[in-house]
Every structure is written in C-alpha cells, then in structure tokens.
Structure 1
Amino acid sequence: MAACFSLCRKKAKNRQEPSLAPGSASVSVSAPPSTVTTSRSDDSAAGKHTSKSTASTSSQRSIPAMYEERAHNLRVFEFDELRNVTNDFSRMNKIGEGGFGSVYKAYIKPLDGKGDRIAVAVKRLNQRGLQGHKQWLAEVQFLGVLEHPNLVKLIGYCAVDSERGIQRLLVYEFMPNKSLEDHLFNRNYPTLSWNLRLQIALGAAEGLAYLHEGLEVQVIYRDFKASNVLLDKEFRPKLSDFGLAREGPTSGLTHVSTGVVGTHGYAAPDYIETGHLTVESDVWSFGVVMYEILTGRRALDRNRPSNEQKLLEWVRQFPVDTWKFSVIIDPRLRSEYSLKAAREVAKLANSCLVKNRKDRPKMHEAVERLKQAIQISSTEAHSSTSNLDKQKRSEPSRR
C-alpha cells in the first residue's frame, strides 16, 4: 500500500492538490498510465500490463492521460462533509452493498451553495488496502472521462489518508428506481411492462456502444449484468460500477490479456477459457441479459429445478422459430407483449451468444436491431388498437 501512495505523492509534488480533509494528507488521483491497473482485488492480472506495444500506445492516449485533462470536472469532497450528510454512514441511510463497499443515500449542497440540495449516492470503499485503492482509482478515472446519457454520472470523490485510516469514497447521481435486477427478479417491485423492457434494453445497448465505439480509446466494461443497470426516475437505464473496466486492445492487437474476473453466468466462455478480453466479451454478457429481460429469470438460479437453473441451457429447449418459444416469456407480462418483437430480441440474443466471438454483432448493430423490435412492437400495438376501435364501431348501439 505504501508503494502506491508514494507514487501518488510524488505526482502530487508536481502540482498543487486540494486538501481533502482538515489535518489529513490528501492523495492525488493522478497516476502515470504504467502504474494504474483498472482491476479489482480478484483480478489475477493486477499489476500486469495489458498487451500493448510501445509504438501503438504512442499514437493513442490512455484513460489516465485523458483523465488529466478532465479531472477538474469532478468535485473533491472532504471526508467530514460526506460523513455528516450520511449521518455518520448510518444504517438508516444505507441503500446497498456490494464488492466495493456500502452505498448511502445523502443530500449535498450545490457547488455554488445556491438552490436546493441534490440527492446523491455515496459509495464508501471497504478497507482492503492496495487492490481496493486500485478499484477506486479505476472508477474515478473511467467515470471522470466517460460521459453519456446511459452511463451513471460521477459527481466527485474523496481520498484521505489520516490517523483515522485510509478513506476512499465516490459520489454519484442518485438513481431512485434501483436496478434492472430489482425489477426483473424481486416480486416486491411492480412488473416492468414490455415496452419499458425494450427501452431499457435499448438504452443499455447504447451505453455499451458508446464504450466500444464512441471514444478515441476503446473501453471494455467487463461487468455487464442486470444489477449494474441502474434506473433513473424516468426508468432510463445507466450503466454503473466501472471497477472492472479495462482499456481495449490498441491498433494491431486483438485482445487484452488479463485475469478472468466477473460474475458467474455472465462471462463469455472464450474469455473464461483464454483470459483474452475483447469487446465481444461484453456482447456475450449483453445476450445473457436480453434473455433475463425476456424471461424474468436469472442467468443462474439454484432455487429452480436442476434442468432450469442455467438460463441459457433452459431457453435452448424452446427454439425461437417454434411454437414452443412463447413458453420462455416472463409470465408476469400476462401476454401483454409482441410475440414477433420478442422473437427478434431472442434472435439478437442468440447472435450475441454464438461461440465464435468474431461472429457476434457489434453493439451499434444491436442498437439498430432493438430499434427495429421496438418499431414492430409499436406497429402491432397500433394495429391492435385500430382493430378494437373498428370492432366497437361495428357493434349495434345499445340503449
């Protein structure tokens, strides 16, 4: 841990860093690209370099280099400020917990001190030493650079080393409708309508397309799953949790070599078998989530009968072009969906789940196919409404 902080402090000598808490040592979030590994504590490749040549990296900026230009956009919070707005990280304010640590809802004042307080989510890092710091640093740098309507917005951070210990926190925009996982699998939540499911799928696809194709550097998300798709007050989806994200391969290279991490049931088999990370790994994960959206079932559910526990194996029993296909559709939809559009979504999911990663679609192609499915669903709904109106008009009037 001391080695990492010494690197940060050496960097801090070259520019003045804001003090993050009274009487404590501040830690710069700047770091040379060679010292930053955007991985979690369970990444066996931590501390290793990705497969990039010196010649190729000279022509393409890295995420840390891009972050240096945009770091001023993030707000630097004092630890005492975040402790106060969360009521000393009270259980009453706690809204979630994951591998990173606990998440608390809080309200903060705008930077200029004017206007109403803003609802935020404060994520506090577990005290896990060096790897935890690397995970925190990855989130700060990626979300300090990335900007898209379908990615969660990072408002700021807190990094403090003091006699009270090491503190690493992140402050995000608050997402009031929890996650896609909550609405698909928790029966305490209202059922997501068919049209809303399609819109969420489309927004998530657009977020991934931006990561893969919308920047000068390619970003592999590496942790696409329903729990990481958060929903705002209008149920617009936003990808969250970038602790596993990695920069993609540079020109002339096909993959990034890394330890295999992620969530069981979502990771692509080619990535698991070889450790070769590509954007097609994200595409596979996207296909899995598409089937979760269609079925209302988890990718892996040990509480189901043995032949139904693995979602992808179960849906294969009901081919998309057969009459049996409708069996897989979430029964909570109560037949209020377009079967034709559902088939198109399943076909897209199947194309994302092909064994040869090179045959999987690009995410911009997935976006277009989802738009087509939405159009099909909309046309059918309009046609159904028109037929109902005609039927009512043709009925004899009753007194």
Structure 2
Amino acid sequence: MKKQTFSGLLSLLLLATAVTSCTKENQAGQTPKLSASDKAVGAAAAAKSYDLVWSDEFDGTSLNTSKWGYENGNLGVNNEKQFYQTQNVAVTGGNLVITARKETVQGQPYTSGRINSNGKFSTQYGRIEARIKLPGVQGLWPAFWMLGNSINTGAGWPGCGEIDIMEQVNTSNTILGTIHWWNTAYTYYSGNTTTTATDFHVYAIEWDASSIHWYVDNTEYHIANIQNNINGTEEFHAPFFILLNVAVGGNLPGNNINDGALPASMLVDYVRVYNITQNPGGGGAPIGTTISIRGNNGSFVSGENGQQAMNCNRPTAQGWEQFTIVDAGGGKVALQSMGKYVSSENGTQAITCSRTTIQDWEKFDWIDNGDGTFSLRGNNGAYVSSENGAQAMTCNRTTAQGWEKFTY
C-alpha cells in the first residue's frame, strides 16, 4: 500500500540470499494457538523454532485498541477514492472485518477502514503473518503491510521503508509482495504469486538481518536481499509497525469500481508475530539470528542505541538489548543492534555499538565454552567483559572468566 503514486518508479533487482532466521527474547510469554499452517511452518523449517511474541486473534466483539489504532479521514494518497472511518472496522465471528461501502463522506464517494499498530507494537525482524480472506471486487485494493517507525520522527516516506506483506487488486488472483525505500531516489522491488484470493490464506514474511522472504501458505515466492544495507536498504534494519486496510480505487487498481458489488469486506482471522530461532547445534554462533545476551550477573547487554558505551545492566530485553549475529567472514561474527555494529574499540576504551560498517574492530570470535556459555574475543585477542554490570563493558581481558561468559 503505497504512500504516493506509482509514476516514475525505479525498479531495482536485488540478489537473493539463502534463508537465514532470527530470534529475540519472548517478551509476550504466550503459547500460540497452533493451526495447520503453524504446524506446516515447523515441518518445513525443522532447523528453526518460532516463539509467538504478539498476536490478535480477533475473538472479541470490538477492536482491541491496546493493540490497534484507527486511521480516519481522506489521507490524500494514490488518488484513492475512500474516506476512512471507524465504523467500517468491526470484529465479529472471530474475524476482523474491514468493509468498503458506496457512500459519500466529506467529498469522497466511498468509505472504508484502515488500522495500524503504530505506537502500540512494532518489531524488527521475525515472522509476521495473517490469515486473510480477500473481497475480490473490481476497484478494491486490500493490503497487509508495514511501515518503519522512523516515519514518526521525520524520515518520511519512503525513507522510513515499507514492507508490503500482501497486496491484491480488483478480481485478480495475483498476490504482490514488495519493499519500498530510498536509495538516492525512490526505489522498490516486487514479486508475485497466484492463489484463490477470495479464500482464506496465510500471508507472511520472514525477515532477518540478511533478507526478507515472502510466503503464501508457507510456500516461498519472493526474496529481497538487505544484507549489509545493500543498495541503500538500511531502512529495513529498524522496527516497523503493522497496517491493514482496504483502499477503493487509486493508481494500482484504477478507478473502474464495481459499485454493485459493494459493500465488500476483507476478513482477517488473526495477525501473529513470531521471533525465529535458528537452532544452532554444537554451540556455534547462531548466524542470522537476533538474540538477547545475558551476563553472568543475570542482566542483559544493551547497545545503548549507539549513544554511549555498552552496559550489561538491563533487567529485561527490549530493542536496545537485541543483537543480530552477522557472518563477518573468516569464521568471525559481527553483532548488530538498531542498525549499528558493536566495536571492540581495540580494547583501548569501553566498547560501543555505533559503527555503520564492519571493519576489523567490529569482528569477533564466537567461542563455545562447553558449559552452556559463550565468550566473544575481539581482533585484539582480548575478551569482552560484562564488568559485572558495574561499569561500561570492555574488550581487554586476557582470559575468559565469569564476567567474560554469556548466555542467550
């Protein structure tokens, strides 16, 4: 669901990468209600495990406003014809129901609904999925998509980044999966597949520090490479929030609208977000996964958003306490948090998480200690120390003792 017109688009083909996966601490503490599709995920990807961290099953009688907010009005994008309003969004029969109607409000000839999780929930990486039944009506444009949180802090669109998990228009059975971003100019990269759009299907992405993969009913059909910010894709290494809407008319479906088929609705059975754990085996580095690192003092390591030296003093793991393990080549790893890399600072000062690229000081050996812990050794030959959480972390220890051992 674009924020502006499709005219003058620049299409850039990204190189596909092998599947990697990611995880972080399960902060929701929920047990997922397993459906057939959930079980299929586990069967298809035995090397990965999925931890549910956020969901809405739409089992109530009204929208859960602790999870979603309404977007109302004429948003003035894409030459769309609808006026969004709260009354076009309902929760009934175990589904979220977003309905497009032929009625004029404030000069717009149609009404519809749009909701988002902005300010209530966002995620960086993971599996984001929804089970959706589409209306399949000429002139309608339903979408399940994401925008970068930075749209709230001045980045604008497309600088914030956009991930379209599912878009479909008119009566077509073509499903679109697309990313939009800024790379010296507006850029997008899109793939598609076909399905019976008016039946329920599970639409999903699996997103990590290397790539974004698109699925329909757990069949992959599209991959975008975002590793090391290739082609200016740094937007996709930051938190995004979720949106659901049905647009009427506009640049993608056109303005030939079948009024006789309205009202028409998109039904959403559930939306679920999982952290993905690559089961490492053998104590090796969990390349491609997002983890939270705990020192032997029981506290979590924080990248401090790159604003100050790192510490190991957090009682819980939030965004700053999540690190993606990146293959740095030569058997070494780099640790990325909030789009920036951890630096050993060559052991001459406290370590930081402020580097935009991987150089020698940002490379570490991941060492399995054989006791369920691991240590990180910088290219200066010294070990990273938690300093027991009493001061900023360092990379200057000659041996790995208690403060130099970590779990995740």
TM-score, normalized by the shorter chain, greater than 0.5: no
Higher relative contact order (CA 8 A, sep 6+): 2
TM-score by length of 1: 0.26
- After TM superposition, the score normalised by the length of structure 2 is 0.25
